[in-house]
Amino acid sequence: MPISPEALIRDDVRAMRAYQVHDSSGCIKLDANENPHALPQPLRTALAARLAEVALHHYPDGSVGAVKQRLRAHLQLADEYDILFGNGSDECIQLLVQAIAADGVKVMAAEPTFVVYRMAAQACRVTFVGVERRADLTVDVERMLDAIATHQPQLLFLTSPNNPSGDVLDEADLRRLIAAAPGLVVLDEAYIAFAKAPMLHLLDDYPNLLLMRTFSKIGAAGLRLGYVIGRRAWLTELDKLRMPYNINSLTQTAACFLLEHHDAIEQQVQQIRRDRDQLMADLATFPSLKVLPSQANMFLVRSEHAEALYHYLHERRILVRLTNWHPLLKHCIRISTGIPEENASLLAAVRDFFATRQA
């Protein structure tokens, strides 16, 4: 008799839910925190020509050397630091948790935050300690310090700007939290391009600190390329768990191209910042909506009508994220910044939604 999944798959795995991604065909996508701008046509043409020369019959460069060399130069990275690449930040997070996973190990983060921290801990059978944020979704630093002292986590994730709230940790608070941590600290800066305070310089002061970033939010979500920056001693150990050839040749070639043309990406980032601020200001004019401050490319809107508004927008083929998985996110919708035309469509739909409720 063939064996069944129930007999073989771990009970805790069967109790999990797979990460859900909605079909976005024909929709305005404001739900995934992507860069809404395509590359300018001349760059797309040049990139297509570059990709056409990739030797797909060979395995990719296992060291991701060309990308690393260009990224090191772009970041002006000192010799004592290295870069480890993952198939998206998700793989980097998985490697970090996997590397420290053992009986009694604890992973900590302030919640609500990026769900993959908790998912990776659960997959590795590691205790996850979620420390609740304040009602305004900012980090309660004193509560975090108490939790660090109580639980002594082997791995602490700090996120700035945070997903889904878009808030940032200031340098003084970051330093207090890093100094208090007994284990490894990972500062996730996936959205740092849209904020004002990158913290790469903190690596010089804290040997237990790693920084994590990604190409996804600045215009290359389709590449699935995340990376960790830190002292070589840490990354040498993490590299032992990285699967061979985890970054494919097309991704490596495209990443090199984007680094060569970073000025074009930076122009898009600046445009997204301006459009974000304008969209937030426009939505704040609706009395029934409370727009939370954000330094990311997305932001939260709180309203007692959140669920109804979410479904109304979905019917209008406008995708946003209903973030009701945590009590502090009750009545919240997360909105990614689109191009001006998409933002205008969103505003028109929101206006129509409230008009129908007043009729």
CATH number of the domain at 277, please: 3.90.1150.10
The answer on 311 and 174 residing in a single domain is no
Shared-domain flag, residues 339 and 226: no
Among residues 220, 238, 261, which one ends one of the domains? 261
Residues 165 and 75 in one domain: yes
229 shares a domain with 310: no
Q: Which residues, other chains included, contact 92 with Cβ-Cβ below 8 Å and sequence gap of 6+?
A: 84, 86, 212, 226, 227, 228
What per-residue confidence (pLDDT) applies to 16?
Answer: 85
**Which residue among 261, 296, 320 closes a domain?**
261
Global pTM value: 0.95
For the chain, what is the radius of gyration of the CA atoms? 21
pLDDT of residue 55: 97
Under a CB-based contact definition with an 8 Å cutoff, are residues 137 and 161 in contact? no
Range of the domain at 12: 5-40+263-358
48 belongs to a structural domain: no
Same domain for 130 and 224: yes
96 and 239 together in one domain: yes
Lookup: tokens for 157: 């994730």
Q: Which residues contact 356 (CB under 8 A, 6 or more apart)?
A: none
Report pLDDT for 1: 64
Q: 234 in a domain, yes or no?
A: yes
Q: Let me know whether 272 and 256 are in one domain.
A: no
pLDDT score recorded for residue 48: 98
Give 10-residue mean pLDDT values along the chain (359 residues). Answer: 84 86 88 95 98 98 98 96 98 98 98 97 97 98 99 99 97 98 98 92 98 92 96 98 97 98 96 98 98 98 97 97 92 98 98 86
Residues 6+ apart with CB under 8 A from 99: 237, 238, 241
Name every residue whose Cβ is closer than 8 Å to that of residue 237 and which is 6 or more positions away in sequence.
99
Among 207, 227, 261, the domain boundary falls at 261
Q: So what's the pLDDT on residue 359?
A: 55
The answer as to whether 49 is a domain residue is no
Do 107 and 77 share a structural domain?
yes
Same domain, 121 and 81: yes
CATH number of the domain encompassing residue 88: 3.40.640.10
Q: Please give the pLDDT value at position 23.
A: 81
pLDDT at residue 208, rounded to an integer:
98
Q: Is residue 123 part of a domain?
A: yes
User: Would residue 46 count as lying in a domain?
Assistant: no
Q: What is the pLDDT of residue 325?
A: 86
Q: How far is CA 161 from CA 191, 194, 216, 289, 321, in A?
A: 6, 9, 15, 22, 18
Is 267 a domain residue? yes
Q: What is the pLDDT of residue 309?
A: 98
Q: Are 257 and 319 in a shared domain?
A: no
Same domain? For 35 and 71 the reply is no
| Residue 239 within any structural domain of the chain | yes
